[in-house]
A and B are shown apart, each in its own frame.
Chain A
C-alpha cells in the first residue's frame, strides 16, 4: 500500500490557488517536504491530515480517502505542530495522556502509554512538571510525544527542530531518524531547513507556488546543490579569475572591489583557492563557505525546469 497517493490535487482559496495539480505517489519511509513560505506546504499538510478537502482531484493517505477519511485519517496519523500548542496548567503526563484520549484511546491505556512515551523521549523526570515550565527542547519533545502516543504509522512533523539549539537539534533529528529507521514509522518532515531533511529523510518533495517542482531521493538533491564561497581578494584579480573560470568555477557576483561570490564544481577543495592565489600573486583576505541556501536552490531548480520545458 502506498503511503500517499495524490492525483491532481488542487486547492483554491477564493482566487488564490494554493495547490496546483499535485500528483504524488510516495512509499512508506522518511519524506522531506521542502518549500519556501507560500509554497503550499501548510495546505498540503492540511489536506493530508483530512482538515481540508481538495478543491479538485483526490487521493489516499494510508489507504484512507482524503475527502471521506476525516476522523479515520487523523487517527492513523500523528501530527506535531510547529506552534507550541501546549495547555498551560497541565502536567506533561496529563497532556500526553489527553492527546491519547483525544485520538480515541481508552483513558487508562492512554495514561500508561503517556508514561511509556515520555520515558522513551527522556522526559520521565519532567512528566509531573507543568508545561509552562518546560524548556524549548522539552516542549519540542513533548509535542512529539503527543503525536506518538497512539503509535501511528505516519508522523506529520511541522518544523520539528524550530527553536532548538545545535545539540537539541541534533538529538531531535537522531530521534526522528531512529523512529523512521528502527521502528518503521513513516515521517513527513515539513521544513525549510535543508540540513534536517538531509539527515533524516530518504525522499524529498520540493514545492514551489503550489506545484511539485522536484521529487526524488535526498542523494539527488545533494548532487543538485552547489557549493559556494565568498572571497575577499586584493591585487590584480583578472588573471586569477580567468584561471578560476578555466577550472570550472562560476563567478556569481563581483562588486569590483575584491568581494566575490563563486560557485565551485563538485569535488572542489578549498586549498585550491590558496594555490591559485599564490600563483597569481593575489592576496586572499577572506574566504568563507557560502553554500547555496534552499531558496537559491529552489530558484535554480525552477530555472532548470523552465529551461528544460522550453
Chain B
C-alpha cells in the first residue's frame, strides 16, 4: 500500500448536535432493508390488503353509481343491485366507518408482524451479531440516540404499512362520498367571512385521530418489541419462532383457555395482538369487546399490559446496550 500524501486534506466545518444522528441511524437501517429484494416482495404482499380495501371501496362505489336505478333478475329472484351493494358494503365493512379501519389495521398489522419478524435481524439483530454497536456508540451520541434511531426505523416501516394506507383510505372515502366526511364531528376552530363567503376552520373527523392513535399504539409496541427481541435473538430464524409464539400460538392458547375452558378473560392479556386491538378499537371509538364483552379484559387492563411490556423492553434494551464493550 503506497500512501499518497498529497491527497489528504483537512476538513473544517461545523458539527451538528447528536440528536440529528437519530434520523441518520434510522435512514441507514431503512436503506439496508430497502436494498433487499425479499423486503419488496413482502411489502408488496403486505400491500395486497390495502389494495383490496382501496379498490373494493372504489368498485362498490362505481357499481352503486352505475346500477342505481336498475333491477337484476336471477332466475325467479329479482333484486336491486343498490340494496345488494349496500348489504355487501356492510358485510365487508367497506363503508368508511370505524369498523373498516379496525379491520384494516387488524389484517394489515398481521402482515407487518410477519415482515418485521423477517426484517428484525437486518434492522437491529445484525448490530449485535456482527459487533457493529461499538461503531455507533463510540461516536458522539448516547445509547438513547441509537435506540431512538432503530425504533424510528421500525416506526417508519410500521406506519408505511398501516397508518399511511389507513389515512389514504380515509381520504379516499372523503373523495368518494363527500368532504363533509373528512371533517364530520370535527372540533370547530372558528369561522370567518371572506368576500361575502363564510369559511369554517374545523379539525378533521375524530376518526382521523383514531386512525393516528391506532397507528401510534402499533408503532410504539411493535418498535420496542422488535428492537428488544432482535437485540436478544439477533438472527432471523429465532426471531420468527419467538414472534410466531408471541403473536400466534399465545393467541390460540388464550382463545382456547377463555373461549373453550371458560377461564377468566384476563388470560387474554397475554395475547399482545388482542391488547393492541382492544386499545386501538377504543381509540377508533368502536366497541372493542365485540358481541361478547364478558369474554374480553378491559381496555384499561390491555393498555396497562402494553405499557408494562414497553417499559420492560426499554429497560432490557438499556441494560443490553450498556453491557456492550466499546473498547475491548
Residues of A in contact with B (beta carbons under 8 Å apart): 42, 45-46, 49, 51, 70-75, 79, 81-90, 94, 98-99, 101-107, 109, 113, 116, 119-122, 137, 141, 146, 150-151, 158, 167-168, 171-172, 174-175, 178-179, 182-183
Residue contact A99 to B135, C-beta cutoff 8 Å: yes
**Which residues of B are found within 8 Å of A104, using beta-carbon distances?**
15-18, 20-21, 140
B28: Cβ under 8 A from any A Cβ: yes
Complex Cα gap A107–B24 (Å):
9
Can you list 24 pairs linking A and B with CB atoms under 8 Å apart? A45-B327, A49-B138, A51-B327, A70-B140, A73-B140, A74-B138, A75-B140, A81-B138, A85-B132, A88-B126, A89-B32, A102-B21, A102-B25, A102-B140, A103-B15, A104-B16, A104-B140, A106-B13, A109-B11, A120-B7, A121-B3, A122-B1, A175-B1, A178-B5
Other-chain contact of B11, A51, A83, A89, A113 (Cβ < 8 Å): A113
Chain A CB within 10 Å — which of B4, B7, B35, B138 has the most?
A: B138
**Which residues of A are found within 8 Å of B78, using beta-carbon distances?**
none
Instruction: For the complex formed, measure the closest distance between the CB of B5 and the CB atoms of chain A, giving whole angstroms.
Output: 6
Residues of chain B at interface, number, CB under 8 A: 44
**Which residues of B are found within 8 Å of A71, using beta-carbon distances?**
18, 140-142
**Which residues of A are found within 8 Å of B325, using beta-carbon distances?**
42
Residues of B in contact with A (beta carbons under 8 Å apart): 1-5, 7-13, 15-18, 20-21, 24-25, 28, 31-32, 35, 122, 126-127, 130-142, 325-328
**Which residues of B are found within 8 Å of A171, using beta-carbon distances?**
1-3
* 12 new A-B contacts at CB < 8 Å, known A171-B2, A179-B8, A183-B8: A71-B141, A81-B134, A84-B131, A102-B136, A103-B139, A104-B20, A116-B7, A120-B3, A120-B8, A122-B2, A151-B12, A171-B1
- Residue ID in chain A nearest B16 by CB atoms: A104
**Given A102-B136, A150-B15: A90 touches B8 (CB 8 Å cut-off):** no
Complex Cα gap A113–B31 (Å):
20
Complex Cα gap A168–B20 (Å):
37
Complex Cα gap A102–B21 (Å):
5
**Which residues of B are found within 8 Å of A172, using beta-carbon distances?**
1
Residue contact A89 to B126, C-beta cutoff 8 Å: yes
Instruction: For the complex formed, measure the closest distance between the CB of A212 and the CB atoms of chain B, giving whole angstroms.
Output: 18
Residue contact A83 to B134, C-beta cutoff 8 Å: yes
Residue contact A42 to B13, C-beta cutoff 8 Å: no
**Given A105-B15, A122-B2: A83 touches B328 (CB 8 Å cut-off):** yes
Residue contact A89 to B138, C-beta cutoff 8 Å: no
Instruction: For the complex formed, measure the closest distance between the CB of B145 and the CB atoms of chain A, giving whole angstroms.
Output: 9
**Given A83-B328, A183-B8: A168 touches B1 (CB 8 Å cut-off):** yes
**Which residues of B are found within 8 Å of A116, using beta-carbon distances?**
7, 9
**Given A71-B140, A98-B24, A104-B15: A81 touches B4 (CB 8 Å cut-off):** no
- Residue ID in chain B nearest A95 by CB atoms: B135
Residue contact B32 to A85, C-beta cutoff 8 Å: no
- Residue ID in chain A nearest B127 by CB atoms: A87
**Which residues of B are found within 8 Å of A137, using beta-carbon distances?**
1
**Which residues of A are found within 8 Å of B135, using beta-carbon distances?**
81, 85-87, 99, 146
Other-chain contact of A151, B10, B35, B133, B140 (Cβ < 8 Å): B10
The 7 tightest CB contacts between A and B, nearest first, are: A104-B15, A171-B1, A102-B139, A71-B140, A74-B140, A151-B11, A85-B135
Other-chain contact of B131, A49, A83, A182 (Cβ < 8 Å): A83
Residue contact B126 to A85, C-beta cutoff 8 Å: no
Complex Cα gap A186–B16 (Å):
23
- Residue ID in chain B nearest A190 by CB atoms: B327
Instruction: For the complex formed, measure the closest distance between the CB of A62 and the CB atoms of chain B, giving whole angstroms.
Output: 13
**Which residues of A are found within 8 Å of B8, using beta-carbon distances?**
120, 179, 183
Instruction: For the complex formed, measure the closest distance between the CB of A34 and the CB atoms of chain B, giving whole angstroms.
Output: 16
Residue contact B1 to A105, C-beta cutoff 8 Å: no
**Which residues of B are found within 8 Å of A109, using beta-carbon distances?**
11, 13
**Which residues of B are found within 8 Å of A94, using beta-carbon distances?**
28, 31
**Which residues of B are found within 8 Å of A45, using beta-carbon distances?**
327
**Given A75-B140, A81-B326: A101 touches B1 (CB 8 Å cut-off):** no
Instruction: For the complex formed, measure the closest distance between the CB of B71 and the CB atoms of chain A, giving whole angstroms.
Output: 61
Complex Cα gap A39–B209 (Å):
59
Residue contact B138 to A79, C-beta cutoff 8 Å: yes
- Residue ID in chain B nearest A170 by CB atoms: B1
Complex Cα gap A81–B133 (Å):
11
**Which residues of A are found within 8 Å of B2, using beta-carbon distances?**
122, 171
Instruction: For the complex formed, measure the closest distance between the CB of B147 and the CB atoms of chain A, giving whole angstroms.
Output: 14
Complex Cα gap A51–B139 (Å):
10
**Given A72-B140, A83-B328, A102-B140: A119 touches B7 (CB 8 Å cut-off):** yes
**Which residues of B are found within 8 Å of A179, using beta-carbon distances?**
8
**Which residues of B are found within 8 Å of A168, using beta-carbon distances?**
1
- Residue ID in chain A nearest B132 by CB atoms: A87
Instruction: For the complex formed, measure the closest distance between the CB of B120 and the CB atoms of chain A, giving whole angstroms.
Output: 14
Instruction: For the complex formed, measure the closest distance between the CB of A103 and the CB atoms of chain B, giving whole angstroms.
Output: 6
Other-chain contact of B122, A79, A89, A113, A150 (Cβ < 8 Å): A89
Residue contact B327 to A46, C-beta cutoff 8 Å: yes
**Which residues of A are found within 8 Å of B15, using beta-carbon distances?**
75, 103-105, 150
**Given A87-B132, A122-B1: A102 touches B32 (CB 8 Å cut-off):** no
Residue contact B140 to A87, C-beta cutoff 8 Å: no
**Given A82-B328, A103-B15, A151-B12: A90 touches B138 (CB 8 Å cut-off):** no
Residue contact B130 to A88, C-beta cutoff 8 Å: yes
**Which residues of A are found within 8 Å of B21, using beta-carbon distances?**
101-102, 104
Complex Cα gap A71–B127 (Å):
22
- Residue ID in chain B nearest A132 by CB atoms: B130
